[in-house]
Structure 1
Amino acid sequence: MREKPRRLELPEILRWDHNAWYRRWLLRQLPSRAGSALDVGCGLGALARSIEAREVTAIDASARMIERASATSDEVRWIHGDVLTCELGRFDVVTAEASLHHLPLLEGLTRLAGLTAPGGTLVVVGLYRAATWADRAMELVTLPANALVGLGKFLRGSREQPHDPEMPVVTTAPTLPEIRAAAAGIVPGARIRRRLFWRWSLVWHAPEFH
């Protein structure tokens, strides 16, 4: 059993939405004029509503999340279901924002790659579990930066809700070495980066035939 990641608990006024911080970056990785897009683990649908594609589909395993997300837009096809078993087809764009750690890593990443059409783009922003000296060194930067950003947002009155109380929570995540090893075999050539605020990112352009 994996140990729970250790986090410094900040005062409520300094807490903010780390996923929203990377959303603009994620959207910039997507091709313009995509025909079809799939957002996996869409939650309340903020990312899905921001994707510019002719057809956008969003899936989440939580019926409550889909119920609430579907009330915000009728331009997205909202699906309640398990991405590992639902018949979905393939998409020009596949995104997963803080959702891959809800799935078994190998099975989940394989599924995301399989949902990406030949020539398509897969973009993941995920959580990782600190396990190496490099991870601990990064936290020497992350912790004060996290507090400073939270303070700045509080003073400007722009602090986002860090986590919706109805959104499912997973307290474990894979390590970066585990992620890199899985990606090497499933999405070779993917660009993986360690990021601040306990996040990692992956961008993969599927070969024209896969």
Structure 2
Amino acid sequence: MIVGVSRERTPTDRLFSMASVPLNLVMALLENRGRPAPRPVSMTAPTRPADMTFPEIVREARTVLPGARPRRRLFWRYTLVWRHP
């Protein structure tokens, strides 16, 4: 299973992005009630900017991993599930 982020380019990407902004703020408020703010992930794990759009990821996954199930998620993420046949 892969949980990743994709680059925003298509109208669908922008729609998911617009829906994620207010939800992201609400989640941040709910998660941090009375607790100190967590350290940014970029300080604890290596990261790099997303360089592929979701349709590109789907196309590549289906070529490399036949039968993979990519799903677009909120908060700029996607999941990709593949089971070895």
* TM-score of the alignment, normalized to the shorter chain, above 0.5: yes
SS of residue paired to 1:205 = coil
* Largest Rg, 1 or 2: 1
Q: Does 1:180 align with 2:58?
A: yes
Q: Superposition pairs for residues 45-84 of structure 1, below 5 Å?
A: none
What is the match of residue 72 of structure 2?
A: 194
Deviations 1:178-205 (A, max 9, x none): 1011011111111110011111101111
**Structure-2-length-normalised TM-score:** 0.86
Q: Tell me which amino acid in the other structure corresponds to 2:59.
A: A
What is the match of residue 82 of structure 2?
A: 204
RMSD (CA atoms): 1.8
In the comparison of the two structures, how many residue pairs are matched? 85
**Structure-1-length-normalised TM-score:** 0.37
Counterparts of 1:156 and 1:190 in 2: how far apart (Å)?
41
Deviations 1:45-68 (A, max 9, x none): xxxxxxxxxxxxxxxxxxxxxxxx
Q: Is the 8 A contact 1:127 1:173 kept in 2?
A: no
Percent identity between the two aligned chains: 36
Structure-2 change in CA distance of 1:137 and 1:164 (3 Å) = closer
What is the match of residue 46 of structure 2?
A: 168
Structure-2 change in CA distance of 1:172 and 1:197 (3 Å) = same
Counterparts of 2:24 and 2:33 in 1: how far apart (Å)?
14
Q: Per-residue deviation at 1:153?
A: 1.3
Counterparts of 1:158 and 1:192 in 2: how far apart (Å)?
35
Deviations 1:59-81 (A, max 9, x none): xxxxxxxxxxxxxxxxxxxxxxx
Q: Superposition pairs for residues 27-38 of structure 1, below 5 Å?
A: none
5+ residue gaps in structure 2? none
Higher RCO (C-alpha 8 Å, min separation 6): 2
SS of residue paired to 1:146 = helix
Q: Per-residue deviation at 1:160?
A: 3.6
- Which structure shows the bigger proportion of residues in helix conformation? 2
Q: Does 1:126 align with 2:4?
A: yes
- Which structure shows the bigger proportion of residues in strand conformation? 1
What is the match of residue 31 of structure 2?
A: 153
Q: Tell me which amino acid in the other structure corresponds to 2:84.
A: A
Q: Tell me which amino acid in the other structure corresponds to 2:3.
A: V
Structure-2 change in CA distance of 1:151 and 1:128 (3 Å) = same
Counterparts of 1:195 and 1:125 in 2: how far apart (Å)?
9
